[in-house]
Amino acid sequence: MTPTSRLELYETMVRIRELETSVESLHYSGRMHGSFHSSMGQEAAAAGVTGCLRPADLVTSTHRGHGHAIAKGMSPTTIVAELLGLQPGSSGGKGGSMHLHDIACGFLGENAIVAGGVPWAAGAAWASRRLGKDLVAVSFVGDGGAAQGVLAETLRMARTFGTPLLVACENNHLAHSMPSERTFGEPGSIAAWAAGFGMRAEYVAGDDVFAVHRLATEMIDEVRASGRAAFVEIEVWRVRAHSLNDPDYRYLPKDLGKSYLQTHDPIANAERDLPLTDAEAATIRERIAGEIAEAIDAALEGQAAPARLATTGVYSEAFEQEGRRRGW
Ligand SMILES: Cc1ncc(C[n+]2csc(CCOP(=O)(O)OP(=O)(O)O)c2C)c(N)n1
Ligand SMILES: [Mg+2]
């Protein structure tokens, strides 16, 4: 990798962290209504995997998807506007944190249904292959998502029908309060399970963005060339509560996230490995913090989503027409 692209991976992680910590402040100051699922500590998975895609490649995401959206190139202003319920948001401000999407940059969207994005990505990947394009689709999913039946069905179909899909499973050790060790066993077990579908399945530690990127590049190149699906389990940690709605969770020691960041912070690790001096890192962080502050100011200029639009855009126009014809 060139020094620039290594630096870009680092900057993407800083951008994700900065956006999410700023939005947390907006939530606690009462400006952001509704909750969100922070991906703090998981930035290397988003940056490392998405960083080796081409612009036309496709990504589907989860309920914890701000990082995936940023890494695939979505504008921070559009993201923040959606989070704040403002019209310039990607769902017109009507969807909120779990409804980010931007087809123009190949970000097919987050999904509030756990593992719901996986068949969606598989279908998009399969269709584009049938149309003669050499796209790859990546679907992020959690360890909880890996326990959903739809993932097993999709892996089976993807393998059967030659689908250029990479499932990137972020094993952050928890599905809300359920430890993944209890569902699957030690980290690496989810990849071992996926290998049973007859596809390449790998494990990588997610505190090293360069290692994630190296493995993902190799796997995505292979998926693109062969048209065969693959699976990567990326071990990360969920540093925050499941969402901002459960600050008083009791199922884990509260300081676990903080102590994890002290030893495994992917951003600090990248600063050490690039390497960057403290002064260089501070300059980059300040510049990106400025960009995010500007994005928030720009988003705040948007109008609130009006109540009269609440039911528009829910169904396709064709469906709505049919409904009107039938008098629904
Ligand atoms: C089909 C479905 N079942 C249950 C839920 C409620 N739910 C939301 S997030 C979550 C845990 C998901 O865990 P995981 O896939 O590991 O993702 P993480 O939150 O750890 O990023 C659950 C059970 C849901 N949104 N969709
Ligand atoms: Mg999880």
pLDDT tens string 53-90 = 999 999 999 999 999 999 999 999 999 999 999 999 99
Q: pLDDT digit string (tens) for 268-281?
A: 999 999 999 999 99
The total of structural domains in the chain comes to 1
Decide: 288 and 18 in contact? Cβ < 8 Å. yes
Give the residue, out of 42, 63, 180, 251, with the most ligand 1 atoms within 8 A of its beta carbon, to mutate for a pocket test.
63
Give the residue, out of 99, 170, 176, with the most ligand 1 atoms within 8 A of its beta carbon, to mutate for a pocket test.
176
**Is the minimum distance from the CB of 63 to ligand 1 under 6 angstroms?**
yes
What pLDDT does 33 receive?
A: 87
Instruction: Using the atom order of ligand 1, give the atom closest to the CA of residue 116.
Output: 1
**Is the minimum distance from the CB of 241 to ligand 1 under 6 angstroms?**
no
For 44, 102, 104, the CA distances from 55, given in Å and listed in that order, are 19, 12, 9
Instruction: Using the atom order of ligand 1, give the atom closest to the CA of residue 146.
Output: 15
What pLDDT does 255 receive?
A: 86
* Structure-model confidence comparison of residues 6 and 319, the more confident one: 6
Decide: 137 and 124 in contact? Cβ < 8 Å. yes
**Distance from the Cα of residue 43 to its chain's centroid:** 9
The CA distance from 43 to 188, in Å, is: 19
**Owning domain of residue 111:** 3-325
Here the CATH number for the domain that contains residue 36 is 3.40.50.970
**Is the minimum distance from the CB of 233 to ligand 1 under 6 angstroms?**
no
**Predicted confidence (pLDDT) at residue 328 exceeds the cutoff of 80:** no
**Is the minimum distance from the CB of 178 to ligand 1 under 6 angstroms?**
no
Q: pLDDT digit string (tens) for 181-219?
A: 999 999 999 999 999 999 999 999 999 999 999 999 999
**Is the minimum distance from the CB of 266 to ligand 1 under 6 angstroms?**
no
Number of residues that make up the chain: 328
Average pLDDT, the chain: 96
Q: pLDDT digit string (tens) for 121-167?
A: 999 999 999 999 999 999 999 999 999 999 999 999 999 999 999 99
The CA distance from 54 to 38, in Å, is: 26
